[in-house]
Amino acid sequence: MTTDRPLNVLWLQSAGCGGCTIALLGAESPGLATALEGAGINLLWHPALSEASGREALEILDACLDGSTPLDVLCLEGALLRGPNNTGRFHMLSGTGEPMIDWVRRLAEVARYTVAVGTCAAYGGVSAAGGNETDACGLQYEGDVPGGLLGDGYRSEADLPVINVAGCPTHPGWVLETLLSLRQGEFFDGDLDALGRPRFYTEHLVHHGCPRNEYYEFKASAQEPSQLGCLMENLGCLGTQALADCNLRLWHGEGSCLRGGFACINCTAPGFEEPGHTFTETPKVAGIPTGLPTDMPKAWFVALASLSKSATPNRVRRNAVSDHTVVPPVQYRKRIK
């Protein structure tokens, strides 16, 4: 969509923690308000960021439904609560007497694009974990199964399925880049991966750019949290399997989970919230991690790991199990002949 008028974006929040909004406020160079204004994006309403509330807010929603205000992008943050008994009454839109799921269905019918912001909105996420007594789901997925609230066959006015900007929370750049692409009319079916996520950030692995890559190469693993070594073998890191550019597109210009000393838990994927073990544990069979790097056969991994460990420099081996650099790199001096 490229028109003279701004791109109208309506943002609703359902069952979630609001973390994706908090992350969005951390957008830098430029900040959120400057980025939206400069791109010609008009935030019609956001429950946490807009001044309008009560009747004023409902008038904005009604105007989108009757067409007097074009709804270009419907952004939904948080999972949809279908319970109890598929009534949606676990989450009523304040002041309307109607379930949020009914409002979302109607607005999605008139939206040119529909965007799920965060893994809860995309796949159910943390809100759908456990017994899921609220019957929470994503907009077009329930876990990794197509369907969700809107159904597998849903297409927006622009003939696109729900765009799943998954992450827990999402990187502000993922959200803004998606909106900018929609503003320019440069987003198509082929720009989505098999789970409806924008390819511009899921065609990378979290492993790419990881500051612990030297330890990974030599399979020099940390044994405890806070140690410098690779977190894959013992401490649950899924960075070699997780699809995202977290270590290339840093948070606040300098951070990521791994740079903060935390294992990657693959939060852009459906089902990440219930791995079947603690997040800081690597499940193994006969000492071999059950979750291997993407595209690597088990036999190759075993052979590579054995060779790598036998060639591990003393510096890397000692630093891997320390919380600070014990042995610094030695300056290489080329002999002059």
pLDDT single digits (tens) 8-35: 999 999 999 999 999 999 998 899 999 9
Reference 195, options 128, 139, 269; nearest CA is: 269
Task: Report the pLDDT value the prediction gives residue 306, as an integer from 0 to 100.
Answer: 85
Please answer whether residues 94 and 53 qualify as being in contact, where contact means their C-beta atoms are separated by less than 8 angstroms: no
Mean pLDDT computed over 210-237: 95
Q: Quick one: tokens of 2? A: 């490229």
Regarding the domain delimited by 204-321, which CATH topology (the fold level of the hierarchy) does it fall under?
A: Cytochrome-c3 Hydrogenase; Chain A, domain 2 (4.10.480)
Number of helices (H) and strands (E), helices first, in the chain? 10, 13
Please answer whether residues 157 and 147 qualify as being in contact, where contact means their C-beta atoms are separated by less than 8 angstroms: no
> 308 or 183: whose pLDDT is higher?
183
Per-residue confidence at 77, pLDDT binned at 50, 70, 90?
very high
Task: State the Cα–Cα distance between residues 131 and 169, nearest whole angstrom.
Answer: 22
Q: Where are the domains of the chain?
A: 7-200, 204-321
Element (H, E) at 269: none
Task: State the Cα–Cα distance between residues 228 and 327, nearest whole angstrom.
Answer: 12
State the amino acid at position 228 in one-letter form: L
Give the tens place of pLDDT for each residue, 31-56: 999 999 999 999 999 999 999 999 99
Half-sphere exposure (Cβ direction) of 272: Cα atoms closer than 13 Å? 26
Q: What is the mean pLDDT of the chain?
A: 94
**Exposed e or buried b per residue across 167-194, where buried means at least 16 C-beta atoms within 10 angstroms of its C-beta:** bbbbbbbbbbbbbbbbbeeebeeeebee
Give the tens place of pLDDT for each residue, 247-279: 999 988 889 999 999 999 999 999 999 999 999
Give the tens place of pLDDT for each residue, 277-312: 999 999 988 888 888 888 888 887 888 888 888 899
Task: State the Cα–Cα distance between residues 137 and 109, nearest whole angstrom.
Answer: 18
CATH of domain 7-200: 3.40.50.700
Task: Report the pLDDT value the prediction gives residue 138, as an integer from 0 to 100.
Answer: 98
Task: Report the pLDDT value the prediction gives residue 1, as an integer from 0 to 100.
Answer: 54
- Residue 333 reports pLDDT greater than 80: no
Give the tens place of pLDDT for each residue, 189-216: 999 999 999 999 999 999 999 999 999 9
Give the tens place of pLDDT for each residue, 83-108: 999 999 999 999 999 999 999 999 99
Q: Quick one: tokens of 170? A: 């999402």
Mean pLDDT computed over 318-334: 90
State the amino acid at position 92 in one-letter form: M
Task: Report the pLDDT value the prediction gives residue 211, as an integer from 0 to 100.
Answer: 94
Task: State the Cα–Cα distance between residues 277 and 227, nearest whole angstrom.
Answer: 21
Task: Report the pLDDT value the prediction gives residue 288, as an integer from 0 to 100.
Answer: 83
- Residue 145 reports pLDDT greater than 90: yes
